Amino acid sequence: MDFKITTYSEEETIELAQNIESEKFPNMVICLKGDLGCGKTVFTKGFAQALEVKEEVTSPTFNIIKEYTSGELPLYHMDVYRLDGKVDDLGIEEYYTKKGITIIEWADMIPDYLPENRLDIKIKSSSEDEDKRIITITPYGKKYEELCEAIL
């Protein structure tokens, strides 16, 4: 079952991320999808802020994976856009079981490497309002379904 939410500002997108963070659990995987500039990193910053990550969260475009360990749980922030689907040597799957939260930007580019149980979040910009976002959340697995039911 998909859940659709519309946000009308960066602050509302951050608030959604913080609500999802409130139901976090170890080994949680969030897969972000959407065009360039739609708010994937904004979502991650909001999640990290609620997780009490002390470091500044930036897009890991050139690093591919950034690890933030100062929060309540480790946050593994990935941007797989530049990999062109070639992630065999990175050990991405190892992060899914490191007892932290994994957030993957451009997750739709690596479908074969995503865990079966996860939270997919597709963010779409609106052509009529530059601040408006249509967000579709799809839970895969019981824990993620329960998370969505608790906060949406």
CATH number of residue 62's parent domain: 3.40.50.300
Q: Is the pTM of this model over 0.85?
A: yes
- Domains held by the chain: number: 1
Domain range spanning residue 103? 3-151
Identify the CA nearest to 131 among candidates 38, 34, 14: 38
Q: 3-state DSSP call for residue 121?
A: strand
Question: Does residue 142 register a pLDDT over 80?
Answer: yes
- List, in sequence order, every beta strand (DSSP E) within 3-100: 3-7, 28-33, 65-68, 75-79
pLDDT tens figures, 85-132 = 677 777 899 999 999 999 999 999 999 999 999 999 999 998 889 899
What gap in Å lies between CA 115 and CA 151, rounded to an integer? 22
Question: Does residue 64 register a pLDDT over 90?
Answer: no
Q: Return the higher-pLDDT residue of 60 and 75.
A: 75
Amino acid at 106: W
